[in-house]
Structure 1
Amino acid sequence: MKFETAQMKRLIDLIKNKYFLVTLAFVVWMIFFDKNDLFSQYEYHQQLDKLKQEEAFYKIETEKVNKDLDELTSDKAKLEKFAREKYLMKKDNEDVFVIIHENKK
């Protein structure tokens, strides 16, 4: 019993200590009320992860587009094929027929 009362007295003295109270108030303020609180930091971290994924995706897409551009500027046959497929271009003596498949539901 004597040991428990000594611990209680020590705890009460700690709670009455002004330095402890100021430190506790500071920690609570930083965790919950500051503009950079824990919840905001978590959201920022999630947003950063999403932006990193988007960056990786766009780097891959940029590499693909640059590769296609190099192929189109260096090879005339590929340029002609690209123009025919994407923009339905044709030569003067040709006819182009576009076939559209209807989806049956």
Structure 2
Amino acid sequence: MVRCVFRHARAPGTGDPPAFRIDDCSTQRNLDAAGQQQSQQLGETFRQRQIPVARVLSSQWCRSLDTARLMDLAPVEPFPVLNSFFGDRTTEPQQTRALQQFILFSLD
């Protein structure tokens, strides 16, 4: 089974605005037109190469969800373990452990 991990397509800038909210895309740094096109092209590459996709997991950030949705490979599942912890490093150990466990126990 193939596993692919990547962040998101082009979303100009760095980080998010100071008062961003995870549940409000208008407050976040989002994909631009080039990022949307990159996402669609990436999905097309998967299809052309006949790479099977069983699941698509994404952080809850809009740019990541949009990348996954625009790839159009499978229904997108928000997966909070993939969320950035740069704004709150206290969650880093717990998230890292949870992701390690997920990877370990989801291997076939």
- TM-score tier, shorter chain, comes to under 0.3
Q: Relative CO higher for 1 or 2, CA cutoff 8 Å, sep ≥ 6?
A: 2
Higher strand share goes to which structure?
A: 2
Higher helix share goes to which structure?
A: 1
TM-score normalised per structure 1: 0.24
